[in-house]
Amino acid sequence: MGIPLVLNRKNRILLKELTKTDFKLRYQGSVLGYLWALLRPLLMFAILYIVFAKLLKIGSDIPHYSVYLLCGTAMWSFFTECASQGIQAIVNRGDLLRKISFPKYIVVVSATLTAVINMLINLAVIVIFALINGVTPTWSWLLVFIPLIGLYLLALGIAFLLGSINVKYRDITSIWDVLTQALFYAVPIIYPIALVAESSATAAKVILLNPISQCIQDIRYFLITNETITTWNYINNKFIAIIPVLIIIVLLVIGALIFRKKSKFFAEEV
């Protein structure tokens, strides 16, 4: 694919330094600084919880719904931040690309890794909140990182694909922002998938075939309750159930291939 799985020492150092720089610059000049990595998803959760749980009474029959909602909002924030930062990475690092010769994918990976740092901070908060809410720790908590990696690879594939196009056509960033607004309601973040299943089993299956939905539901399954509906326990046909995984793999491969092809011209176009 032209994007090696193992980095040499020089590229590892460059990736580390770019990631540190991106993370510091993200909150430079902010009064609350790094606290925004924690506050952004928490504020979003608080608003959604008041409106949908308290006022509209959604999720009252879902075990630990507050943790369920916090988990969904934090993982959604991770995915959108990861993809958005990756899409803009090449354009934002244009000056560096023109001055130094190095593998261009490092710029995208470093931008997405800052989102990973934020996600790990939020994951620690979710675990603490889950314990306070009465969720019993189990060995399945260790499996949370499997769907988390899947969610990251999906965002990385999108970043490679759209980021390489965004260098020449800057409208991609705006289009992606609009698309994420629509995707937010197509993913069971606010509403439990069980509510959809009660009305239409077909609609519930279609939603679960979205890899974002599949990853978030799997995280909830491992971390909160095994009563969570997932692609694996709701769709009986295993060939269909594997579609979200295939989508992630295909997007990552296609994104990497297109990124490799277009990366030769980034310095000229950026």
pLDDT surpassing 50 at residue 46: yes
Does some domain include residue 8? no
Q: Is residue 128 part of a domain?
A: yes
User: Which tokens hold the place of 27?
Assistant: 């909150």
Which pTM does this prediction carry?
A: 0.88
CA 184 to chain centroid: 12
- Number of residues that this document lists for the chain: 270
Rounded distance, CA 90 to CA 88, Å?
A: 6
What's the token pair of residue 202? 């077909």
pLDDT for position 4:
56
Q: Which of 160, 141, 181 is CA-nearest to residue 86? A: 160
pLDDT score for 203:
94
**So what's the pLDDT on residue 92?**
84
Residues 122 and 77: beta-carbon distance below 8 Å: yes
Using alpha carbons, list the distances in angstroms from residue 34 to 29, 30, 73, 124, 206: 11, 8, 19, 15, 38
pLDDT single digits (tens) 10-34: 777 888 888 877 776 766 655 455 5
- Residue 5, classed as helix, strand or coil, is coil
- The boundaries of the domain holding residue 96 are 15-269
68 in a structural domain: yes
Q: How far apart are CA 229 and CA 197, in angstroms?
A: 9
- Residue 1 is predicted with a pLDDT of 42
Residue 170, domain member (yes or no): yes
Please report whether residue 7 resides in a domain. Answer: no
Q: In this structure, are residues 172 and 87 in contact, taking their beta carbons and an 8 Å threshold?
A: yes
Amino acid 212: pLDDT? 97
Assess if residue 2 is contained within a domain.
no
Q: What is the pLDDT of residue 157?
A: 96
Domain presence at residue 220:
yes
Interval 50-61: pLDDT, tens: 877 777 677 667
Position 3 scores a pLDDT of 58
**Exposed, middle or buried, 83 (CB in 10 Å: 0-12/13-18/19+)?**
buried
Q: What is the CA 228 to chain-centroid distance, rounded? A: 20
Report the sign of the C-alpha dihedral through residues 64, 70, 71, 73, in that order.
positive
pLDDT in tens, 98-155: 777 778 899 999 999 988 988 998 898 899 889 988 998 999 999 999 999 999 999 9
Instruction: Write out pLDDT tens, residues 252-268.
Output: 999 999 999 988 878 77
**What total number of domains does the chain contain?**
1
Per-residue model confidence (pLDDT) at position 112? 93
Q: Is residue 185 part of a domain?
A: yes
Show Cβ contacts of residue 220 under 8 Å, excluding neighbours closer than 6 positions: 68, 71, 72, 228
